[in-house]
Amino acid sequence: MMLSSSSTRAAARMGVTLLSRLQARHIDSVPSSRCCYSGNVGSVAPQTLVTTTVRGTQEKWMKRFESESIPEPETSITNIIAHVLELPGPGEVGNHQNSSLSEAQMAKIEELCECRLARMPIQYIIREWDFRDLTLKMIPPVFIPRPETEELVELILQQMDNKEETLFLEIGCGTGAISLSLLKHAPKIYEDLRALDGGTDGLTVIKAILRIASRHLAKDGVLWLEVDSTHPPIIEQFLTKHGELMGLKFMASYKDLFQKDRFVEIVKQ
């Protein structure tokens, strides 16, 4: 499977190898008596530290998972420990092998491991999962995104790079992983759309400002506007037609340092 460099963080979830993630299609019914995890770690209050280390806990539960044929036992316990210790990712667990665990941390790990023994997917247990360079919230029954879907996003992004404008519709969105990835990596999209969309003539916001200025400016009061370089003649044309009724007069436009018409002066009559 070919993955881009942006998939590195997601790959770290899987440890040394990119094993197939635990998919929702493998979910067995979860007996409520075995798993009543709420999904919130919260702040684990420091308590008396016991002699159990991260290494010992990891080995203990990995053997337990193996004995009960839990898929991907090492990946499962590593993600659970990283989640409880609030580490940046499972790859950090290796740096804490000799760290001692408090009783509260051990109890939380045991609680989450019981959920895993009940065949609950690890993504639902820790309530999040990485997709490309996004960390998505995972709440049942939302379908868990597959790692191979990252390849689909790569193909679409390559196609988008060759187009100035792309319209797309995602059906069966689940977590929204595909659309969120496309939107995050789409070029030239930074500003809030509300700040860019001026309507069909580009003057929707400006006309609203003119109406307010008409009501609130004192006589001979001046309204200054910084606008798109194509707007001054359109504003002048609009005020030539409607300015008398609004009590506003277009006085002049001024160029910016790049010699583009950028500023407009309007006076209340």
Residue 236 located in a structural domain: yes
Could you read off the pLDDT tens digit of each residue along the chain, which spans 269 residues? 334 444 444 444 444 333 333 333 333 333 333 464 444 444 444 444 445 899 999 999 999 999 999 999 999 999 999 999 989 888 889 899 999 899 999 999 999 999 999 999 989 998 988 899 888 888 888 888 888 889 999 998 888 877 777 788 888 888 889 989 988 886 566 666 666 667 778 888 899 999 999 999 999 999 999 999 999 999 999 999 999 999 999 999 999 999 999 999 999 99
What is the spatial order of strands in the sheet that 261-268 belongs to? 222-226, 261-268, 248-255
* pLDDT confidence of residue 189: 61
Do 191 and 260 belong to one domain? yes
- Taking the C-alpha atoms of residue 106 and residue 85, their distance in angstroms, rounded to an integer, is 10
Same domain, 78 and 177: no
Contact partners, residue 83, CB within 8 Å, separation at least 6: 41, 112, 125, 126
Q: What is the DSSP letter of 33?
A: T
Q: Which of 150, 107, 118 is nearest to 10 (CA)?
A: 150
Specify the number of domains making up the chain. Answer: 2
Is 177 within the bounds of a domain?
yes
Let me know whether 151 and 260 are in one domain: yes
Domain of residue 118 covers: 54-126
Give yes or no: residues 165 and 245 share one domain: yes
The answer to whether residue 36 is domain-embedded is: no
pTM over 0.85: no
| In a domain? residue 106 | yes
Find the CATH number of the domain harbouring 76.
Answer: 1.10.8
pLDDT at 32: 39
Query: How far is the CA of 244 from the CAs of 206, 219, 240, 259, in angstroms?
Result: 17, 14, 8, 30
Give residue 38's pLDDT. Answer: 46
What pLDDT was estimated at residue 22?
A: 37
Q: Would 15 be classed as within a structural domain?
A: no
Q: Flag whether 38 is in a domain.
A: no
Distances (CA, A) of 180 to 86, 174, 212, 239: 25, 11, 38, 42
Q: Do 111 and 203 reside in the same domain of the chain?
A: no
Sign of CA dihedral 101, 103, 108, 113: positive
Q: Within a 13 Å sphere around the CA of 74, how many CA atoms are in the beta-carbon half?
A: 12
pLDDT of residue 259: 94
Is 63 a member of any domain?
Answer: yes
| Residue 71, domain member (yes or no) | yes
Asked if residue 231 and residue 172 are part of one domain, the reply reads yes
Domain shared by 180 and 104, yes or no: no
**Do residues 119 and 164 share a domain?**
no
Examine the domain organization and report whether 118 and 156 are in the same domain: no
Same domain, 176 and 256: yes
Same domain, 255 and 197: yes
Regarding whether 207 and 258 lie in a shared domain, the answer is yes
